[in-house]
């Protein structure tokens, strides 16, 4: 495993529609492991292949809902190849997002409260994930990357885009 460089906003790969993965190879398996390590070191809650310079439809997400006055839950790791959103809730929610490829900035984005994602797991088996709340937001954010879309393209208002200091609570809570 290796930590890969995360490309930032001006890199052209972030604006391309990523290619569908037709056949899972040893190279893809290494990419998956590298992406997981890179996401954890960054630290982030999700990472799309274009963010490490690879224009293929692959995301990793690691997240656990936290509840007040409860012990922290173990994070769940999702590896999704060729993810697609197949259902969305009518209800939308505004939330603050940041991105490892847009360091030092956060902004408010409207997202569906709940979604259903289909794709393949790391073994090439079909999976379906029903997500709501922050997890649904993370999946929507990462899948947007596969279509060349950044959260800054979806701001509810340009006025919500603001600088954050690395290491602050706001920066940590908004990393997407």
Q: Which of 56, 62, 97, 142 is catalytic?
A: 142
Active site residue 142: yes
Q: Taking the alpha carbons of 158, 160, 161, 162 in that order, is the dihedral positive or negative? A: positive
Find tokens 């656990």 and name the residue: 64
Q: In which order are the strands placed within the sheet that holds 162-163?
A: 92-98, 105-112, 162-163
- DSSP helix/strand/coil, 163: strand
Distance CA 126, CA 88 (A): 19
Distance (Å, whole) CA 85 – CA 151:
17
Would you please indicate which residues are annotated as catalytic (active-site) residues?
142
């Amino acid at each position: 495993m290796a930590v890969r460089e995360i490309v930032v906003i001006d890199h052209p790969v972030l604006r391309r529609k990523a290619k569908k993965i037709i056949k899972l190879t040893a190279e893809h398996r290494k990419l998956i492991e590298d992406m997981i390590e890179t996401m954890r070191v960054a630290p982030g809650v999700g990472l799309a292949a274009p963010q490490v310079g690879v224009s293929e439809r692959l995301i990793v997400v690691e997240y656990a809902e936290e509840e007040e006055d409860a012990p922290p839950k173990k994070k769940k790791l999702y590896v999704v190849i060729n993810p697609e959103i197949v259902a969305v809730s009518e209800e939308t929610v505004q939330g603050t997002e940041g991105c490892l490829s847009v360091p030092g900035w956060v902004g408010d984005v409207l997202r569906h409260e709940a979604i259903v994602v289909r794709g393949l797991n790391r073994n090439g088996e079909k999976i379906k994930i029903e997500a709501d709340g922050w997890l649904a937001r993370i999946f929507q954010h990462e899948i947007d990357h596969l279509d060349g879309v950044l959260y800054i393209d979806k701001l509810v208002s340009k006025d919500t885009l603001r600088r954050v200091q690395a290491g602050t609570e706001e920066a940590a809570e908004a990393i997407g």
